[in-house]
Structure 1
Amino acid sequence: MFTWRHRDHTNLSANDIVYPEERLAWGRTIGLGMQHVVAMFGATFLVPIITGFPPSTTLLFSGIGTILFLLITKNQLPSYLGSSFAFLAPIGAATTIGGPGFALSGIILVGVLLAIVGVIVHFSGTRWIGAVMPPVVSGTIVALIGFNLAPAARDNFIVDPLLATITLLAVILTSVLFRGMVGRLSILVGVVVGYVVALATQRVDPEALAAIEAAPWFGLPEFTSPTFDPALLPAILMFVPVVLALVAENLGHVKGVGQLLSRDLDPLAGRALFADGLATTISGIFGGSPTTTYGENIGVMSATRVFSTAAYWVAAITAILLGLSPKVGAVIFATPPGVLGGVTTALYGLIGIIGVRIWVENQVDFSKPRNQFAAGVGLIVAIADFTLSAGQLSFGGIVLGTVATLVIYHLMDGLERLRGRGTEAGADAARPDHAPPATDPAD
């Protein structure tokens, strides 16, 4: 597993691929690994800032999770496991209801469920997932998760509209004016620009600056234990729809990397799901953010044509070292609300549009009523954040929107079949390339 075949870079043409089982010279491999760290960093550190989780803990367990992923997939599937944005809404709601510890119990639940799905997929294949979650359904679920977060972006934006606008403009201009790696790092560039402006105009909380100064350069990050209150059991169900988004993300990653390598990586799909579920569970146990595969790193591989898993080992170890620096975590945690408002306005919109992209790339036909109603009703329920309460049971927009999308699609599809018009729908659901594409926020 750890014997990569060396490739001489001087003999590589522009179109040559360095495969997962190969590596360049170690100096170049370390440089590529650092590039993967930069690519994942912008999105990964935003999740702990938004949720209030310790950033250093998140970085530490993203590195550990990546190592687990590489081991479980036998070094055959290059990927970095960064923070998942699909959890933001349920984490926010759960923290309000029962505190950070209760939110961590929801993360652990999703991790365990995803690992179970991974075991099932490993032994049964992926075709059944395509039948349950055709592109119109998976795209809607991803989109409604992003759009449901719009009020959170607004709340941070209005704290400091000027700083938020500057940050948002920096993100937009970077993505438009620059190509290659810089353009892909528009979120990170926007945060850095906003942070610098905030420092120059004294918009950073003095207490946060004092915490940065007091934090040591090296040390263990802050660990938080999950808590569970049986009386709040119904509330934890709000996390369950996130499993569907993570399944879509991981299967999309497998498909995307396989397409770039011209290899059938579907046999590794179950391992990928299990690995992400295990990494999310472990991170939740110790107080870190949940994980998922990252499209930013697919972009790096696509640009460099280097798919060596050796580079991801370098990236994982680098993230672990960063996680062992409390000062780095304090700097990240001090990000002003105005900066968050600007960057999340762009980021949450991108999450929603990724769902739309799933529709486009899979050529979803919106002239069909089942697609119109499944997507339309699901989005409205989530954007308006419909809430259903019955005693101690309470379900928010993401749960209700997901359920509405699934029920409406399969109900209408079943009725069409009964009326003899389901032939085309059945053919669509049985397509071998039915798995949705990657759903990472910055992909």
Structure 2
Amino acid sequence: MALKWTLYGDGGTPPPGGVVAPDERLSWPRTIGLGAQHVVAMFGATFVFPIIMGLNPQLAVLMSGIATILFLLIVNDKIPSYLGTSAAFVAAAGAIRAQGGESSDVTGAILVAGVILFGIGVLVHFVGGRMIDKVLPPAVTGAVVMLIGFNLAPVVANIYWPADQWTALATMVFVIIVSVVVRGFISRVAVLMGLIFGTLFSWFLDAVSGPLTAADGSESDRMANFANVGNAAWFGFPESITQADGTVLSGAHLPTFSATFILLIVPGVIALVAENAGHVKAVEEMTKRDLNPYMGRAFMGDGAGTALAGFVGGSPTTTYAENIGVMAATRVYSTAAYYVAAVVAILFGFSPKFGAVVSAVPSGVLGGITVVLYGMIGLLGAKIWVDNKVSFGSPLNLVPLAAGLVIGIGDVKLQFTDSFSITGIALGTIVTIIAYHAVKPFAPKDWLGDHQGDDRAGTPGPTGGPAEGPVAR
């Protein structure tokens, strides 16, 4: 089944109102064109997030292609989706490094998170999707997604933005304008366009106003440093890349495991569950096919992709809303296009020169990109609340979630021993989930009625549908 599709009509462009089903395809030239379009849609975020996590973007793109094929095989080609780099673990990766962890510690924790997600998928496959709504109602899921995103604010404020505030500001404004004002497909690749614009703008500032002067009096260029690009091979396995600021992005490597670091990254699994469920519901609505029996398989596919990527030193994966947006615009849901996109990504992943180009993006440009992306991650939590009509007139939703949010966003620490503590995202997630379920049995019945975001028939799932804009992790 995986490599067999029925030709849609004569293989030409679908007529108005026409829909190409997952098990159908257009002519191969058109299918290849659509596959390339899917690559462009996922491109910006897929290589930006690994750089932010200190991981290799070339390896991330390579593993995104492999993970996509693995996902499609596990769901038996029923759910057309592309798996790109997930932002759910960005904050945890930063926390691991802040506590002295290396890239292998980050990828080891990512591997464990993938195994956990795969296990959740197995359980959902046999028990049913309602279990997710019981354990992680939208009120709780929205809070966890929100604290994951907003916990990242200090990274922007203290690292990327100060590197070159004017380039960061110009890049941010550009991304906002392209995302909102520009129409069509270009708005969906605003991150990629922002990276190109910001790099060119940094060159312009260097030419007009000269290099940056740091607090210690040293000077440095704003613009991208392509010195490593010329030395990089056109074809080869992903190798370590040294960025202009001296940061080394490790190539393929085996993971290492630490209970402390694993605890930091596990809350990101909740975000993956939420977005996977939402994306399946969105595809179900667009294709008019019942995909609920494949919900567990979707979790298993994403978990397998994330675990495999972590095993070789790559970035975590997740289904991408940008690609769902492309399907909504083209009304072509053929999984054949996703196989093409995956193969193209794999080819890019075997080019060290591509990795060197990506890693040369100036820090100031990343400052403008991340200030938008991190905020959007946080606001996706609010979107979950809105889509599911979560009422904050109920203290059950208001009080436990408020405590968890402040702990997560403020990076509050609970110290147990000199060598073990729970901080920020992990602690905020634990407080949110445990406090919510601990007090729920004692809440008055009128707090458990409609508009609580849980235990209601017809709940549209943890997320209400495909998010719009340049990224929706």
Partner in structure 2 of residue 253 of structure 1: 279
Give how far 1:407 is off: 2.2
1:221 aligns with 2:238: yes
Q: Distance in 2 between matches of 1:360 and 1:281?
A: 32
Partner in structure 1 of residue 247 of structure 2: none
Partner in structure 2 of residue 393 of structure 1: 420
User: Which residue of 439, 445, 457 maps to 1:412?
Assistant: 439
Give how far 1:171 is off: 0.2
Mark the CA change 1:338 to 1:353 in structure 2 (over 3 Å): closer, same or farther.
same
Partner in structure 1 of residue 35 of structure 2: 33
> Is contact 1:235-1:393 (8 Å) kept?
no
Q: Distance in 1 between matches of 2:280 and 2:180?
A: 29
Give how far 1:404 is off: 1.7
Q: Distance in 2 between matches of 1:288 and 1:315?
A: 19
Q: Deviation per CA, 1:215-268, whole angstroms, max 9, x where unpaired?
A: 111111124323436xx4233211111111111111111111001111110111
Give how far 1:169 is off: 0.9
1:209 aligns with 2:235: no
Name the structure with the higher helix share: 1
1:297 aligns with 2:298: no
Q: Distance in 2 between matches of 1:427 and 1:195?
A: 43
Partner in structure 2 of residue 424 of structure 1: 449
Find the residue that maps to 2:19 and give its secondary structure.
coil
Find the residue that maps to 2:84 and give its secondary structure.
strand
Give how far 1:273 is off: 0.7
Q: Distance in 2 between matches of 1:439 and 1:402?
A: 24
Partner in structure 1 of residue 200 of structure 2: 196
1:319 aligns with 2:345: yes
Give how far 1:51 is off: 1.4
Give how far 1:15 is off: 1.6
Give how far 1:387 is off: 1.0
Partner in structure 2 of residue 273 of structure 1: 299
Identity %: 46
> Is contact 1:208-1:330 (8 Å) kept?
no
Partner in structure 1 of residue 108 of structure 2: 105
Q: Deviation per CA, 1:11-47, whole angstroms, max 9, x where unpaired?
A: 8332221110000111111111000000000111111
Question: Counterpart of 1:99 in structure 2: which amino acid?
Answer: E
Q: Distance in 2 between matches of 1:311 and 1:67?
A: 11
Q: Deviation per CA, 1:84-122, whole angstroms, max 9, x where unpaired?
A: 000101111223322111111100110111111111111
User: Which residue of 430, 438, 443 maps to 1:403?
Assistant: 430
Partner in structure 2 of residue 125 of structure 1: 128
Q: Distance in 2 between matches of 1:74 and 1:55?
A: 28
Question: Counterpart of 1:180 in structure 2: which amino acid?
Answer: G
> Is contact 1:163-1:338 (8 Å) kept?
yes
Mark the CA change 1:350 to 1:338 in structure 2 (over 3 Å): closer, same or farther.
same
Mark the CA change 1:427 to 1:87 in structure 2 (over 3 Å): closer, same or farther.
closer
> Is contact 1:103-1:226 (8 Å) kept?
no
Find the residue that maps to 2:449 and give its secondary structure.
helix
Mark the CA change 1:227 to 1:297 in structure 2 (over 3 Å): closer, same or farther.
closer
Partner in structure 2 of residue 147 of structure 1: 150
> Is contact 2:148-2:408 (8 Å) kept?
yes
Give how far 1:412 is off: 2.9
Partner in structure 2 of residue 50 of structure 1: 52
Q: TM-score scaled by structure 2?
A: 0.89
Give how far 1:57 is off: 0.6
Partner in structure 2 of residue 95 of structure 1: 97
Q: Deviation per CA, 1:263-290, whole angstroms, max 9, x where unpaired?
A: 1101111111111111111111111111
1:136 aligns with 2:156: no
Give how far 1:432 is off: 4.2
Q: Distance in 1 between matches of 2:283 and 2:237?
A: 34
1:116 aligns with 2:123: no
Q: Deviation per CA, 1:327-354, whole angstroms, max 9, x where unpaired?
A: 1111111111100111000000011111
Partner in structure 1 of residue 471 of structure 2: 442
Unaligned runs of 5+ in 2: 212-220, 240-250
Q: Deviation per CA, 1:385-414, whole angstroms, max 9, x where unpaired?
A: 111111122112111111121123223321
Partner in structure 1 of residue 185 of structure 2: 181
Give how far 1:9 is off: 5.2
Question: Counterpart of 1:228 in structure 2: which amino acid?
Answer: T
Question: Counterpart of 1:115 in structure 2: which amino acid?
Answer: F
Mark the CA change 1:109 to 1:183 in structure 2 (over 3 Å): closer, same or farther.
same
> Is contact 1:414-1:422 (8 Å) kept?
no
Q: Distance in 2 between matches of 1:67 and 1:11?
A: 25
Find the residue that maps to 2:69 and give its secondary structure.
helix
Aligned length: 439
Mark the CA change 1:424 to 1:100 in structure 2 (over 3 Å): closer, same or farther.
same
Find the residue that maps to 1:179 and give its secondary structure.
coil
Q: Distance in 2 between matches of 1:212 and 1:100?
A: 23
1:353 aligns with 2:379: yes
> Is contact 1:370-1:408 (8 Å) kept?
no
1:282 aligns with 2:305: no
Q: Deviation per CA, 1:131-156, whole angstroms, max 9, x where unpaired?
A: 11111111111111100000111121
Larger displacement relative to structure 2 (388-397 or 338-347): 388-397
Mark the CA change 1:11 to 1:212 in structure 2 (over 3 Å): closer, same or farther.
closer
Q: Distance in 2 between matches of 1:342 and 1:207?
A: 15
> Is contact 1:354-1:439 (8 Å) kept?
no
Give how far 1:205 is off: 7.0
Give how far 1:195 is off: 1.0
Question: Counterpart of 1:195 in structure 2: which amino acid?
Answer: T
Q: How does 1:229-248 map to 2 (within 5 A)?
A: 232-248=258-274
Root-mean-square deviation (CA, aligned residues, Å) is 2.0
Q: TM-score scaled by structure 1?
A: 0.95
Q: Distance in 1 between matches of 2:35 and 2:431?
A: 42
Partner in structure 1 of residue 214 of structure 2: none
> Is contact 2:59-2:252 (8 Å) kept?
no
Give how far 1:55 is off: 1.1
